[in-house]
Amino acid sequence: MSARVTVLLFATARQAAGTGRLRWPVPPAGLSARSLVRSLGERFPKLEPVMRTSRFVLNGSYLTGLARRVRPGDEFAVHPPYGGG
């Protein structure tokens, strides 16, 4: 089985991709969060503009940039702007 990360998509990101959860193939050595975001945007064109205003979460921690490496087995979440209340 190829190396994969779990991608969680919420709210408008889920609607744009048509699913809330993806098992996304990645190289065995992983890839940068930036590359992952780019590949998701290429696969789901409607998701690309949503991700421009989204925050990203890697294994439960908010990313402050996209340089972090995402490795097989990681969980990567896309958070569009929040709207509770």
Partner 1 sequence: MAQAVRELEGPGLGGVVVFAGRVRPDRTRSGRVERLDYEAHRALAVAALRELETIARRRYGAERVVLWHRLGAVPVDEVSVIAGAATGHRAAAFDAARYLIEQLKATVPIWKGERSRPSRPRRRRPVGRGGRSAG
Binding footprint of partner 1 on the chain (CB under 8 A): 8, 10-12, 57, 60, 77, 79-80, 82-85
Shortest spacing between CB 37 and partner 1, in angstroms: 17
| Cα 59 to the center of its chain, rounded Å | 11
Select 42 or 62, whichever has its Cβ closest to partner 1: 62
Which amino acid makes up residue 33? Answer: A
Structure tokens belonging to residue 69: 């490496």
Shortest spacing between CB 42 and partner 1, in angstroms: 24
From residue 35, how far is each of 40, 64, 85 by CA, in Å? 9, 15, 34
Shortest spacing between CB 85 and partner 1, in angstroms: 4
